[in-house]
Amino acid sequence: VTAKTSSASAHRLLDRLEELGSVGATADGGVCRIALSDADREGRNLVRRWMGEIGLEVLVDQIGNIFGRYPIGDDSPAVMIGSHIDSVATGGKFDGNLGVLAGLELAQTFIERKIEFSRPIVVAVFTNEEGVRYSPDMMGSLVFAGGLSLDAALGSVGIDGTRLGSELERIGYRGDLPIGAIPIHAYVELHIEQGPVLEAEGTVIGAVEMVQGISWTECTIQGQSNHAGTTPMRLRRDAAWAACNIADFIHQLAGDMGGTQVGTVGRISLSPNLINVVARQAVFTVDLRNTDDARLSEAEKRFDAYARDLTQKAGMTLETKRLVRLPPVKFDDRIVALVEEASLSLGFSVKRMPSGAGHDAQMLAARCPAGMIFVPSVGGISHNVREFTKPEHIEAGLSVLERVAITLCIQGGPYSALSTL
C-alpha cells in the first residue's frame, strides 16, 4: 500500500494545542510548565495518554525523554519527529508543543489510513529543552545524542537548589529505556520561528539550515553592602552598579560586532536587595549567541575582559561559571532541500534561514540527518505569553511536515523523488 496523500487533521492538532496549553495555564493567557514541575508531569501524562490512545508504543528513557513508536516493537532505524513540552515561566502554547503534537497527529493519521511504513515513526518529547531551571538547555536531547553523560544530567542542581534526578523520580519519569536506545534514520522538528523574519517577508515556511552557537555564563560579583546615604561614592563597592555596567556592555558589544551577534542579561538577583543598602552581591546570567563560532568566542573574550577589568578596578571580586557552550550546528542539506521541495510542491513560499533559538534538532544532528520546519510567529514574539501562530500557518507547517515524513517513512513512496535519504 503506498501512502495516499493523507491529509492530517489540522483541527485535531489545534484542539490538542489548546488542551495541552491549558496545562500550566497562567492567568494572563500564557503557559508555565517548567521542566520537571508538577505542571510538566501533567503535560507529560496528557501526551503519554494520547500516544497510548492512538496506538503508539510508549517508551521512557533514563533522562525522562518520552518516545511514542509505531509499528510497536519495530526497532529498525526510525523517522523521529519531536520537540519539547516544557516551557519558560512566561511561555506560550506553541513553543515546542507544536512539534510534538504535529508528530502525534501524523502518527495518528498514518495509522488510521493504514499506511505501510518502510521505516517506523517515533514521536519524541525531550526533557528540559528550555534549561531555565536546570542548565544546559536542550538537556534531554543532548544526553540522548551522547553529548552529556546521564550522571552529569541527573546530578545537575537547579536554580531552586533541587537535584534533577530527584525531581525526575518525583514526577515519575525516570524511565528505564537505556539512553540512545532508539535507532534513528532521520529527525525532523516543526517549530515556530520565535522571531520576526518570516512574518516580515510574508513567507510561510522556513527551511532551517542551521542553529546558531550559544554561550551561557553565570556571574557572581561580590562588593560590600553599605549605607545608601552616608557612604561617599568613591568608597562604594556597589555590585548592582557593576552588574548594570556589564549588562550595558553586552548590549553595546552586540551592536559593535554586528552580524548575528546578540547578548542578553536575562536573570539578575541582588542582595540584600533593599532600597537603602548598597548591593553587596549581584548574581546574573549572560547569554551570547552568534551563527559564527569564532565571532562567538570573540564576544565571550571581550565580555570577560571587560567584566574582570571593571570589577577589579572597583575593588570587587568576579566569579564566572560557564553553564552552556554549544557551537553553531548545520543541518543535513538533504533534509533542508526536502523541506524546501515539499513546501514548493504544496505551493507554499519558503526560505532557507538560520535559527536564532536553540532546539532539540541541533542535538539530534549529531546522531542522524536532522532538520527543522519553521512557521511564522505573529509579531515575532516568543518566550512571552502573547506568543501566537495563525491556524493557517499551523496547517501549512503540518502539511509540509507530513510530506517530509511520508517521503522519509516510505521508501519508493509517492514523493520518494524528493529525497535521497
The residues of the shown chain that bind Mn ion, judged by CB under 5 A, are 95-96
Q: Which of residues 134-153 bind ligand HGY (CB under 6 A)?
A: 137
Cell numbers given for 118: 518502510
Output phi, psi for 218, to 5 deg: -105, 125
40 touches ligand HGY (CB under 6 A) = no
Q: Please report, as a single letter, which amino acid is at residue 406.
A: I
CA–CA distance from 23 to each of 31, 39, 105, 285, 408 (Å)?
7, 6, 19, 29, 32
Nearer to ligand HGY, 96 or 120 (CB): 96
131 touches ligand HGY (CB under 6 A) = yes
Q: What residues are paired with 290 via a beta bridge?
A: 213
CA 18 to chain centre: 20
Q: Which residue is nearest to ligand HGY (CB)?
A: 358
The stretch near ligand HGY (CB under 6 A) out of 116-124, 125-133, 148-156, 407-415 is 125-133
357 touches ligand HGY (CB under 6 A) = yes
Cell numbers given for 302: 571581550
Which partner from the list ligand HGY, Mn ion, none does 96 bind, CB cut-off 5 to 8 Å by kind? Mn ion
Query: Which H or E run includes 220?
Result: strand 213-222
Concatenated DSSP letters of 294-316: HHHHHHHHHHHHHHHHHHHHTT-
130 touches ligand HGY (CB under 6 A) = yes
340 touches ligand HGY (CB under 6 A) = no
The stretch near ligand HGY (CB under 6 A) out of 39-47, 129-137, 160-168, 361-369 is 129-137
Shortest reach from residue 336's CB to Mn ion, in Å: 19
358 touches ligand HGY (CB under 6 A) = yes
Single residue of 40, 61, 129, 167 touching ligand HGY by CB under 6 A: 129
Shortest reach from residue 358's CB to ligand HGY, in Å: 4
Which partner from the list ligand HGY, Mn ion, none does 175 bind, CB cut-off 5 to 8 Å by kind? none
Neighbour-count burial for 30-42, b at 16+ CB within 10 Å, e otherwise = bbbbbbbbebbbe
The stretch near ligand HGY (CB under 6 A) out of 14-22, 119-127, 128-136, 261-269 is 128-136
Phi-psi region of 258 (alpha: psi -120 to 50; beta: other; left: phi over 0): left
Cell numbers given for 301: 573574550
Length of the chain: 421
- Would you tell me which residues interact with ligand HGY (CB under 6 A)? 129-131, 137, 357-358
